[in-house]
Amino acid sequence: MSTNEDLLCQALEIEPPWRIVRMRNDLGRRQLDVWVARHTPRRGWFFGTSAAAPEAPEQVWRHVNVGQARCLIHASPTDDMMQAPLPWVGADEQTFTHGMTRLIAAHFLAGIKFQSICELLDIPVADLWKFKHNLDNGKVSLSGRETLMADRQPSAFGVPEADHPVWASLLDGAIELDIRVLSLKLLLTKLRGQMPLISDPEVRQLKARELQHYFERYAPQLAHELGQIRPATLSGDSL
């Protein structure tokens, strides 16, 4: 039978050789603090004891919620911990774990408003603004492509799917449009300015989804622009 610790490890995606070594729920309102370290077998008297390797300074990342409680992961980073995109670990100088980063990105892809994400995930506005700024400037990488793929429901207005190459061509400037809607012109200018800073393919996919979502939302007003995009989706040629 699973213990409470086993169940919590499953919820937080903490797997061997890593384990929870400490927990506290009194450091903040509706907050669970979890300390994670590598599991090391106990040494018997026959083998003696050895000095523990010095640990790196502890880092703290915001992880996915546990029920209604915010979860903070405390860990001393090691090389093998940081090289693998472990869900409960975050990148250097980042606020969120990889798992929380993917969850936030999925909400962005779903078109959920900024303030609503803060309320749903209990994230301070300042932290989410910082994350969005880092994302837009190529300082955040995303892992878990399946998390980022939007629902592939056909559009009633014939808007291409988010992973169609036409969006990448628009963002990279390979395709130019005669744009009559000012808000689209401003959005495309902003996204094109961000793309040279972003090397992570999943973040680039997120930007493509942002542009595609705009077309889906305002398709009736974008008939002129969509009329130029549709031939490109069929021929693959630049406009």
The answer to whether the peptide bond before residue 54 is cis (omega within 30 degrees of 0) is no
Q: Specify the range with the lowest mean pLDDT, choosing from 53-57, 196-200, 235-239.
A: 235-239
Whether 192 is covered by a domain: the verdict is yes
pLDDT of residue 64: 93
Pick the closest to residue 73 from 82, 84, 62 (CA basis).
62
131 or 49: whose pLDDT is higher? 131
195 and 109, same domain (yes or no)? no
**Do 129 and 218 have their domain in common?**
no
Compute the distance between CA of residue 53 and CA of residue 60 in angstroms, rounded to an integer: 20
92-111 pLDDT, tens per residue?
Answer: 788 999 999 988 988 887 77
Question: For 50-93, how does the pLDDT look when each residue is reduced to its tens digit (9 = 90+)?
Answer: 434 446 789 999 999 998 899 999 999 888 787 777 999 998 78
Its domain, for residue 171, covers 151-235
Q: Is the pLDDT of residue 47 over 80?
A: no
Distance CA 62, CA 121 (A): 11
Does the pLDDT value for residue 155 go beyond 80?
no
| Residue 238: pLDDT over 50 | no
Whether the per-residue pLDDT at 164 is higher than 60: the answer is yes
Is there a domain that residue 48 lies in? no
Rounded CA-CA distance 85/225 in Å is: 39
Residue 2, in any domain of the structure: no
Strands 69-75 and 59-66: antiparallel
Q: Among the three residues 147, 170, 193, which one is the final residue of a domain in this structure?
A: 147
- Residue 29 to residues 22, 25, 68, 116, Cα–Cα distance (Å): 18, 8, 10, 21
pLDDT at residue 45, as a whole number: 40
Which of these three, 147, 171, 197, is where a domain ends?
147
Q: Amino acid letter at 37?
A: A
Q: What's the whole-model pTM score? A: 0.66
Percent of the chain clearing pLDDT 70 (strictly above): 83
pLDDT band at 1 (very low <50, low <70, confident <90, very high): very low
Q: Give the pLDDT score at 167.
A: 94
160 with 228, same domain? Answer: yes
Average pLDDT over residues 152-178: 82
The yes-or-no verdict on residue 145 having pLDDT over 50 is no
Question: Cα dist. 111→7, 23, 24, 49 in Å?
Answer: 32, 35, 35, 55
70 and 96 both lie in a single domain: yes
Contacts of 179 (CB under 8 A, 6+ apart): 185, 188, 225
